[in-house]
Amino acid sequence: MHHHELVEQVHRILMDNLPLNSGKTPSGWVTFDCPMCSDKRKRAGVIQSGAKISYHCFNCQYTTGWEPSPKLGQKYRKLCEALGVSNKDIHKVVLDLMKYSEELEIDDSTEYVYTATSFKTQQLPEQTTLVEHLDDGHPVKEYAKQRGLLGNFPLMHINTSLYNKRLVVPFMYNNELIGWTGRHVNPPNKETAKYLLNTQPGYVFNIDRYVESDRDFVIVVEGVFDAILIDGISVLGNGVTPEQAQLISKLNKRVILCPDRDSAGKDLIQTAIELGWEVSFPKWAPECKDVADAVSRYGRLLTMKTITDSAISNELKIQVQAKML
C-alpha cells in the first residue's frame, strides 16, 4: 500500500462519516455539530491540508488530527467512534498504518495536534524612532494626533524612502516583534499603496493584550487603528484564517465582532457566525463607517459600551441585521 493510499484511508474514515448537513466555509473548513459535546450550532470543523487533517471544536475546544505517522492518536480514534465509525474499521486503519509504515513520508511520529502558527522574530530598521519623539508639525506625528492614536500605542516612524511618510504600527507576539504595518499619511496618487503590510500567517494584532487580561470579552475588528482605539484585536482584513480563529478561541473569552459597514464586513459576519462569535450592530450615526469614525464622534468608552450592548448571538437576527448594512 502506497503513501497516498494510507493518507486517503485515514482521511476518509473521518470525512466519509461526517453528518449529512455539514457546511463548508470559504477557507476550507467543513463544519458540523461537534459529537464530543452538546454543540448545536456547527461550531466544530475539520480541514484537510495536503497529507494533514485537523479537527477543532470552538465550543468544547476538542482538538485532534493526523499527519503521516504509523500511529493513529487516541483522540482521533475517539472522534471517529463518536461519529459512528465501527471499531473494526478503526482497527483496520491502525493495523495498516503499522504494517505499511515504511511507505509513509514521516515528519513526526507523534499525533498531529492543530496549533496556532509560531512566529519568527523580526528587527525594525535602524532608522526607526517613536512617533512621540518626532518634531511637532511632522506630517506623521500630526496624522497620529488627528486620528487620536498618539499616546495609546507605541507608534513608530522609519526614516527610509519607503516608509518616510508612513505611520508604522509594530506587531508584537509574546513580547517579541514579529512584523509591522505602515500607513501612508497622504498618498500622492492611486498607485501608492495606502498600507504596506509586513506580517506572518495566522497573526492577530494586539492579542497579547488579552492573554492574561481579566476582561471577559474581546472585540474583533478589521483594522489596526480600530483595534488601538478601543483596545480590541484586529484580524488585519475582512477574513479569518483557521490559525487566527484558534488563536482567538484559546483566549476562552466572549468574542464580539464589530464589522465595518460595507460589503467586506458582510463576509466577515458570515465567518463569525460559523465560528459561534457574537456580532455587534451599534446604532451609530450614518457617517460612522467603522470603529474609528465612532470613536471620533462618541469617544472611546461610549463606543465600547455601544458595541458590547448591541452584541447578538442569534444567527437569524445576525443575518437580518447584516442585510441592512
- pLDDT at res. 100: 75
Cα separation, 1 vs 176, whole angstroms = 46
Cα separation, 37 vs 78, whole angstroms = 13
- pLDDT at res. 110: 37
pLDDT one-digit tens code per residue, 54-107:
998 877 888 888 888 888 888 899 999 999 999 889 988 887 887 777 776 655
Whether 112 shows a pLDDT value over 70: the answer reads no
pLDDT tier, 238 (very low <50, low <70, confident <90, very high otherwise): confident
Cα separation, 212 vs 88, whole angstroms = 45
* Cβ pair 33, 41 in contact under 8 A: yes
pLDDT tier, 142 (very low <50, low <70, confident <90, very high otherwise): very high
Class of domain 128-323: alpha beta
pLDDT one-digit tens code per residue, 268-311:
888 888 788 999 999 999 999 889 999 999 999 999 999 999 99
Q: Which of 96-100, 140-144, 161-165, 252-256 has the highest mean pLDDT?
A: 140-144
Provide the mean pLDDT of the chain. 86
pTM: 0.65
- pLDDT at res. 108: 43
Cα separation, 29 vs 42, whole angstroms = 11
* Nearest Cα to Cα of residue 276 among 244, 238, 303, 249: 249
Beta strand segments in 159-262, E: 166-173, 176-184, 195-198, 217-221, 233-234, 254-257
Domain ranges within the chain, ordered by starting residue:
3-103, 128-323
Amino acid at 270: Q
Whether 323 shows a pLDDT value over 60: the answer reads yes
Dihedral sign computed on CA atoms, order 93, 99, 102, 108? positive
Q: What are the two backbone dihedrals, phi and then psi, of residue 47, each rounded to the nearest 5 degrees?
A: -135, 140
Mean pLDDT in residue range 177-202: 89
